[in-house]
Amino acid sequence: MNALSATVRAAAIARSQRPLTLRSISTLPRSITLRPTARVAPVPNTARYYSSQREESAKDKLAVGPFNLRAGLLFLVTGAGLLYYFRTEKAKVAERRKAETASAKVGRPRIGGPFELVTSTSHPFTHDDLLGSFSLVYFGFTNCPDICPEELDKMGEVVDRIDAKYGKTVINPVFISCDPARDTVPQLERYIEDFHPRMVGLTGTFEAVKQACKAYRVYFSTPPGADPMGDYLVDHSIFFYLMDPEGKFVDAFGRSVDATETGDKVDAYVKQWIDAGLEIKEADARERVQKDGRQKVGL
């Protein structure tokens, strides 16, 4: 038995020194068998992977949650601060514009003031009826051959332009006669029909007209001993005046200033008033005095 084992070992050693072939394998003793070697793949640590993933997800939630809360609080605080800032600045701008509007009136001539006249529909009309909206006031006479019609046409063009821009009536066109002897109520109504439909025509006694002309610093003169039935001219100032909703003088426009330039200036004044947050009522003086129940008067 010992001899057999020694022989086998010797044969194995001898064969191990030669290349291994199929033939050499076949000559091995049948008692020797080759067993395949199986390699076992490592089992992944799935439990550890999912545990790590859950930890990372929890960390993300913890990181995102407080960030959203801080961002929300920051947004609210910033929004409240901006709202307060803009409201404060808006109030400051409004006050500054009011101050600028008021300061712009300093040094202007004292034009305008109380008067008591009669409309072309025989209704009493005073300075107070023009308050609340802008007014363009012109002094002339119905027998004027050319200058007065030209100026009243220009006035109507400016009024239409301003009304169209602001979407409402903001200016009362007003014509005051400085020839009360000939400009009766019926004559005045026939005359202004040729111009703007909202034009307020005013006349009165000689003293009442004189008072209105004095308030507006308007010069007028009729020939001495002029016959009211005669054909004569009245010398008068050729301006129309822009008055603001408080009845204060704003500007005067002479014959040399055309409708475009006049409209530009009037528009600038109206815009300044609106931007300052000041109110403008409907410019409906002609219609209002006919509907508010006031009694007609005769001259």
Three-point CA angle 92, 97, 98, nearest 5°: 100
Cβ atoms within 10 Å, residue 65: 10
The pair of three-digit structure tokens given for residue 260, joined into one six-digit string? 């475009």
E strands, 171-248, are: 171-177, 200-203, 220-221, 235-236, 239-243
Q: What is the DSSP string of 76-125?
A: HHHHHHHHHHHHHHHHHHHHHHHHHHHHHTTT--------EEEETTS-EE
Q: Are the C-beta atoms of 148 and 261 separated by less than 8 Å?
A: no
Backbone dihedral region for residue 203 (phi beyond 0: left; psi -120 to 50: alpha; all else: beta): beta
82-107: b (≥16 Cβ within 10 Å) or e = eeeeeeeeeeeeeeebeeebeeeeee
The whole-angstrom separation of Cα 238 and Cα 216 is 12
Cβ atoms within 10 Å, residue 54: 10
Q: Are the C-beta atoms of 150 and 240 separated by less than 8 Å?
A: no
Residue list, annotated binding site for Cu cation: 144, 148, 236
Q: What phi and psi values does residue 163 have, to the nearest 5 degrees?
A: -60, -40
Residue list, annotated binding site: 144, 148, 236
The pair of three-digit structure tokens given for residue 71, joined into one six-digit string? 């961002």
Widest pairwise Cα distance in the chain: 177
